[in-house]
Structure 1
Amino acid sequence: LSGVFNYLQHQFFCAEDSSTNASFCRWLVSYDSRKLFYLDSRVNRFVPLQQFLEKKMEEKNSNKLTFQQYNSICQLACEYKEQMEYKNPFIIGTSKVPPMVNIGIMKDEEIQTDTLSLICSIRGFYPQAISTTWLRNGEDIKSETFTTGLLPNVDKTFSLDLYVDIVESDWNEYTCQVEHSGLTEPL
């Protein structure tokens, strides 16, 4: 596993119209942080945010069944989000939640090579300010790493993954270092 990662992100925004007490959903789809389109249940339409998608969104808008299917998924996501927020009350600004850190290995078995990717998965931290890096024998190798970037979680915490490609026999020379205000000392 090496090279460039691309990210398709789905964000669900759920709210209630105070004038009608009706709930609505907006489903935003982005690719590598570039907003592509969103579904808006208030106006029952897909709204393109990039010119190259205008024709495709018009096709989707002309098919009411397609919209209903996507809208029902959006509503389910809102119901799930509401349940998660109820089960995990989280008061922003008053808490520091330390990250949970796990190290994993990914290797493409189809490619005969001694290279693999180490993954430092950092989950569930708040606030979002965090410093992460891979160290090789204690030396920072930030220029050799790549990351998912900061990803929001439904409970208002954050996550990210940090990757480095290595030679398999050298795996024990690497350390993932994490500094966060919720920790008493760096991990």
Structure 2
Amino acid sequence: MFFNVAQNITARRIRMTPFTLLILMASDVWADMHLHYHRAVFFPPGPGLPAFSVVGYVDDQEIESYNSDVCQSVPKTEWMKKLGPEYWERETKHNQIAEIACKQQLQAIKKQFTKTQGLHVYQEIFGCELSDDGSTVAALYNMQGYNGKDLMYLDTQKWLWIPVVNEARFFTHAWNQPGTSETEKWKNYLTNTCVGQLKNILALGREDLKKKVVPEVKVWGHHQSDGVTRLYCLVYGFYPQTVHVKWMRNGVDYIPSDKMSPILPHPDGTYRIRVSVEVPQVEEDAYSCHVEHSSLQETLSITFKNQCKSDGPYTNNYRHLCFYCSKSDYCCCFWSLNRPGIGEC
């Protein structure tokens, strides 16, 4: 499902999968090297909500931005500043042209729908991905949405625009006509400009982009009424963003989470996520939180069962601390690197 953009306009990042635009970060796994831009047009604009904005990312790191309030493309990392003033002047002119085109597109889309009141939002996400070694193109894409729903996307195998809703057929029919400039423009950009730009950016920021920070993990539980325990697994301080966290019963049975936070950024550039499940208080069962991350050589498994123990392979590098409070029937376990600054439950 597509989260309603009007309810999530402060989200840091837009994620997109085929047929689906997501406002707010999701758990999809992207290739290691990808360049993608997120455009959004809002009508009417409001305080803190520019009429037009563009944010560029490499992998999950924001690298540049532009909006209609400042009318200038700006670097978001120190190493992107190395591209020099000519690059940023060129990006600014490109985004100023895109601003006009996207605003016109929103007005054209509005005519195809019956809604006339309230906030109108047009979104476009486009980009390219390279294989891990950078030798081949893994994916090219352009996907568009309107008012929190999928609109259309570009099939980059056949180079045809595909409508997702009937209202989009007006545009896809026109853009799919032989000799139209819209498809050729995007084919040239994605296959040439985007791929070349990604390779240049990777050369500039490879050291920063390829850094890996090992996650720290806290596992705790609270015994509730009716013989049920609420288990929590907090994974934090990790980079890059992609992580898989799940609860297991006896090491083999996956327990679907009924409460999972989105992956949220820290000011220091790392990320955090919390996964929670309710389980029956059965003495024979052991419940463990499994964490998979690119910084870990193997899956990290932290077990919660009356006492805290670890099944992970990092005994020499981590410290493991457990605290108990009989009044609240509460247990907290830390699984942390031997470095200062770990918090308490």
TM superposition score normalised by structure 2: 0.28
Highest relative contact order (Cα 8 Å, sep 6+), 1 or 2?
1
Please tell me whether Structure 1 or Structure 2 has the larger radius of gyration of its CA atoms: 2
TM superposition score normalised by structure 1: 0.48
